[in-house]
Amino acid sequence: MTSDAIKRVAVVFPGQGSQAVGMMNELAEHFAVVKETFDEASAALGFDLWEVTQDEERLHQTKYTQPALVASSIAIWRIIFDKLKSQDLEPVCLAGHSLGEYSALVASGVLSLSDAVVLVHERGKYMTDAVAAVDTQMAAVLGLEDEQVASLCEDATTNAGIVNAANFNSPGQVVVAGTELGVAHVLSAVENLGKKAVPLKVSVPSHCALMNPATDKLAARLNDTSFNAPQIPVIQNRHAVSYDAIDDIKTALIEQLSMPVQWAKTMQKLADKHIDLIIECGPGNVLSNLAKRQAEPISALPSYKLARLEKLENLA
Count of alpha carbons within 13 Å of 304, Cβ hemisphere only? Answer: 24
Residues 100 and 224 in one domain: yes
Residue 226 designated active-site: no
Q: Residue 1: its pLDDT value, please? A: 35
Other Cβ atoms within 10 Å of 5 Cβ, number: 12
Q: Residue 138: its pLDDT value, please? A: 96
Q: Which residues contact 71 (CB under 8 A, 6 or more apart)?
A: 37, 38, 41, 49, 113, 117
Domain membership of residue 277 (yes or no) is yes
* 101: nearest Cα among 5, 191, 223, 207: 207
Domain membership of residue 66 (yes or no) is yes
Residues 149 and 214 in one domain: no
Domain membership of residue 267 (yes or no) is yes
**Parent domain of 155:** 136-203
Where does a domain end: 203, 218, 235?
203
Residues 124 and 140 in one domain: no
From the candidates 60, 73, 207, 303, which is the catalytic residue? 207
Residues 193 and 228 in one domain: no
Query: How far out from the chain centre does Cα 213 lie?
Result: 21
Domain membership of residue 1 (yes or no) is no
Domain membership of residue 3 (yes or no) is no
Residues 99 and 192 in one domain: no
Q: Residue 4: its pLDDT value, please? A: 64
**Domain count for the chain:** 2
Give the CATH number for residue 74: 3.40.366.10
From the candidates 42, 98, 206, 242, which is the catalytic residue? 98
Other Cβ atoms within 10 Å of 280 Cβ, number: 29
Residues 27 and 114 in one domain: yes
Counting Cβ atoms within 10 Å, is residue 211 exposed (0-12), middle (13-18) or buried (19+)?
buried
Residues 215 and 300 in one domain: yes
Please tell me the pTM assigned to this model: 0.96
Inter-axis angle of helices 100-107 and 113-130, nearest 10:
160
Question: What is the residue-level pLDDT of the chain in tens, covering all 316 positions?
Answer: 334 678 899 999 999 999 999 999 999 999 999 999 999 999 999 999 999 999 999 999 999 999 999 999 999 999 999 999 999 999 999 999 999 999 999 999 999 999 999 999 999 999 999 999 999 999 999 999 999 999 999 999 999 999 999 999 999 999 999 999 999 999 999 999 999 999 998 889 999 999 999 999 999 999 999 999 999 999 999 999 999 999 999 999 999 999 999 999 999 999 999 999 999 999 999 999 999 999 999 999 999 999 999 999 888 7
Residues 76 and 199 in one domain: no
Residues 50 and 180 in one domain: no
Residue 98 designated active-site: yes
Give the span between the Cα atoms of 162 and 177, in whole angstroms: 8
Count of alpha carbons within 13 Å of 67, Cβ hemisphere only? Answer: 33
Residues 257 and 109 in one domain: yes
